[in-house]
Amino acid sequence: MADRKTFCALGALLGLSACSLAPAYHVPTTPVAAQFRSVAPWTTAQPSDQLSRDGWWQMYNDPQLDALQQQLRHNNPDLSAALAHYAQAQAFVRQVESGLFPTITGNANPQRIRQSDNKPLRSGGPDEYNSVTLGAEVDYEVDLWGRVRDTVAAGKDEAQAQKADLASARLSLQTQLADTYIRLRGLDQQTRLLTATGAAFEKALNLTQGLHDGGIVSGLDVARARTQLSSTKSQLTQNIAQRALLEHAIAALVGASASDFSIAQSTRIVTLPVVPVGLPSTLLQRRPDIAAAERRTAEANAKIGVARAAFYPSLTLSAQAGFQSAEYAKLLSAPNLFWVIGPSLLGTIFDGGAHQAELDAARAATEEAGAHYRSVVLAAFAQVEDNLSLVSGLGSALKDQRDAADAAQQSENLAMDQYRQGAIGYLDVVTAQTTALQAQSSVLDLQTRQLSANVGLIKALGGGWSSEELASISAQKN
């Protein structure tokens, strides 16, 4: 009867292990605008990470960029480090989950013992004898206050945050590579412009030199023509040097040595993809940094339960059994059997306020994590708005700049024709040439900046998507 009461009491204690002292978790609220200022309607979203981001750069229709992205995926050391960090988080979850199960240990302890002749209070017995012990022990902490489960929950939240960190690191490196590549191709366009302009200026210098030799124009015109040509050559040299720096940066991103890495020049125009502006809120909630911040808020909340559980005693159930004898031959026989079973209760009587300090720290950490989450969400809204404004504004500016470049080119052609006829001085030609070069260079610069803003918009939205995914999301929303 006594044994039955004991097991009933233990069963009741195990039933208590269903409780948790962690507060009910709620995702921190953040102010959300009804819609983007420029374009689409907006609805509140929860962090999620369900849609694939792989291959978003293919929207730019550049095989070289696609190949570089594949190299980055397999060779970038920072990405490898982030992956290893996530693997550590997964291993930690498995480690803390082991606390949900009993611990079983075994021992084998064969000994030959000799007692000292002068052993205090020696009660006789042989001077030398064998002592052989073979046994096992089972220990199980009854999770009365949810300490173990809250620790596991916090570990899982951190692992999920690390997974989001990995996705964030991957997206950041991918967009960094895309942006650097776009700027490098922009410099290739500038190189072609400066090379062609240099050739035109050299012809103009030869023309002016010929007119000077014929006594038609002064040496001042020749000097101006030579200055224009040398200045253009200097810009070309600077452009090539800047391109080399971008090439080195790409080498580091794809895990290659800058000394052995090169990208052939190309003036192929990088396509500006159309990013849907009427985006469902799902796309913004796919941002991995938001998901990571939200998971760390949940982790901090679970740790409050761990800190609260420390105020209460812990109960451990233990059982030992085995065989012990002075003889090896009959060790595994009934007379040599021993066993011990019973609970142990351990609690803190006085700790000088240590547990309270830990609880205060856990609460403050939760408030900090919640504030960080709100900050990340607000920053995400701002980044989307920034890049939407840039893509739109730079597009309008590019259209006007192309008109200006066409007009400047016409002015340069007219000025050169009039100079050949002796109607104007070479200073007017230099002015027209400088204006035309600056206008055409500005067109290329705006094109590159708009593409960079486009990459920034994709990053702000959490990565890429497909038209099928957008259609599926829209159908679900409607």
In angstroms, the CA 407 to CA 31 distance is 48
For residue 285, what pLDDT is reported? 65
For a pLDDT cut of 90, what percent of the chain falls above it? 58
> Residue 2: which pLDDT band, with cuts at 50, 70 and 90?
very low
In angstroms, the CA 416 to CA 200 distance is 11
Q: Which fold has domain 23-106+143-319+368-477?
A: Outer membrane efflux proteins (OEP) (1.20.1600)
Asked whether the predicted pLDDT for residue 387 surpasses 60, the reply is yes
Average pLDDT, integer, range 391-398: 92
Asked whether the predicted pLDDT for residue 71 surpasses 90, the reply is yes
Across the chain, mean pLDDT equals 85
User: For 200-219, what is each residue's pLDDT tens digit?
Assistant: 999 989 989 998 898 888 89
Higher pLDDT, 158 or 37: 158
Asked whether the predicted pLDDT for residue 50 surpasses 50, the reply is no
For residue 304, what pLDDT is reported? 95
User: For 373-382, what is each residue's pLDDT tens digit?
Assistant: 999 988 988 8
Asked whether the predicted pLDDT for residue 470 surpasses 80, the reply is no
- Rounded to two decimals, the pTM is 0.82
